[in-house]
Amino acid sequence: MYSLYGKNKKPNKRMLKNIDILVYDIQDIGVRSYTYISTMGLAMEAAAENKIDFMVLDRPNPIGLDKIEGSILELSYKSYIGMYPIPYVYGLTSGELAKMINQSGWLGNKKCNLKIIKMKNFDRKMIGDIVFDNWIPTSPHVPHSTTPAYLVATGIIGELGVFSIGVGYTLPFKTIAAPWIDSKLIAEKMNARDLPGVMFRPIEYTPYYSIYKGELVKGIQIYITNIEVVDLILIQFHFLEIHNELYPDKNPFELAKNVNLDMFDKAIGTDKIRKKFMEAFLVSDIKSKMINDVYDFKTFKEEFHLYD
């Protein structure tokens, strides 16, 4: 058995000696920054280089296949948390994404001998809470089938290392909080925006580990009420816009370390979103780029669909 998460992220010749086929049988969450799809792509690349078959046992996407959000990754920001030019929420199963990677020249212009075992009795309208009766945590901070949607809502802002997003507490990715925030006021202002498919309540808690360990933080708890209409990725930017109104002396991009700014850009797939947003802290300044990227990708991805 070999780990592909630490130093060696791609299978090498020694690992693949006497191997006839690599099988990918892992539940993914449908978010570009979640590294299982990077591991899949690197394993496909190794299979292509070593002339080994590659099989994907397909599984559902817990966020759903109609949900596409975020900007397309610029390849200059390629990293282990984003290897392919796809949106942050890409609306494909693992098998469909593997097909896209293989046929789009993203394996160093190689192709592997890809075999996909499709799901039975599955269609594109199925979403996580319908499909997953017994969710097995894909990692410690993704304990429920609904958690991936919350990861989209807070995961990028979490890279700044300025706010607690519930990781280190009992609500991973479901909060945005910091010691200086008035939780009632910011929850009130977030709810006043009447964002579709989501509500907020004030929360105060003390993280057990990670950022602000042992320190009281205050902010919002997020409640997704309708996954089909909510703009997940923009929730954190609405928070940043309001946070800037209330606490202009606490600019999170100035408080963040350079390494965290780099991770923020890698997570969102470009530095253009951050730089444009920093000009005036307005969601409206960045929304159009994300909409345009989503529109282009929706058309592109259709040829790789495996399900109606």
CA distances from 83 to 144, 172, 187, 254 (A): 25, 24, 35, 27
Supply the pLDDT for residue 6. Answer: 82
| Residue 55 forms part of a structural domain | yes
Q: What is the pLDDT of residue 128?
A: 66
Give the domain CATH number at 229: 3.90.1150.140
Task: Indicate whether 84 belongs to any domain.
Answer: yes
Using the structure block, give the residue that is written with the tokens 């191997």: 19
130 and 190 housed in the same domain: no
Domain boundaries, position 90: 13-135+295-304
- Domain assignment present for residue 111? The answer is yes
The pTM (predicted TM-score) of the whole model is 0.96
170 and 126 in one domain?
no
What's the structural domain count of the chain? 2
Classify residue 13 by its DSSP letter.
H
Residues 98 and 161 in one domain: no
CA-to-CA distance for 193 and 154, rounded, in angstroms? 18
Q: Does residue 183 share a domain with residue 128?
A: no
Which CATH number characterizes residue 129's domain?
3.40.50.12170
Cα–Cα distance between 84 and 44 in angstroms, integer?
13
Closest CA to 267 of 150, 147, 142, 159: 159
Mean of pLDDT over the chain:
96
Residue 142 falls inside a structural domain: no
Report yes or no on 141 lying in a domain. Answer: no
Cα 28 from Cα 138, distance rounded (Å): 7
**pLDDT digit string, tens, across residues 142-154:** 999 999 999 999 9
Per the structure block, which two tokens stand in for 18? 């006497």
Q: What pLDDT is stored for residue 126 in this prediction? A: 85
Distance, in Å, from the CA atom of 126 to the CA atom of 66, rounded to the nearest integer, reads 9
Distance from C-alpha of 75 to C-alpha of 85, rounded to nearest angstrom: 7
The predicted-structure confidence for 148-176, as pLDDT tens digits, reads as follows 999 999 999 999 999 999 999 999 999 99
pLDDT tens digit string along 212-251?
999 999 999 999 999 999 999 999 999 999 999 999 999 9
The verdict on 114 and 191 lying in the same domain is no
**Is 50 among the domain residues?**
yes
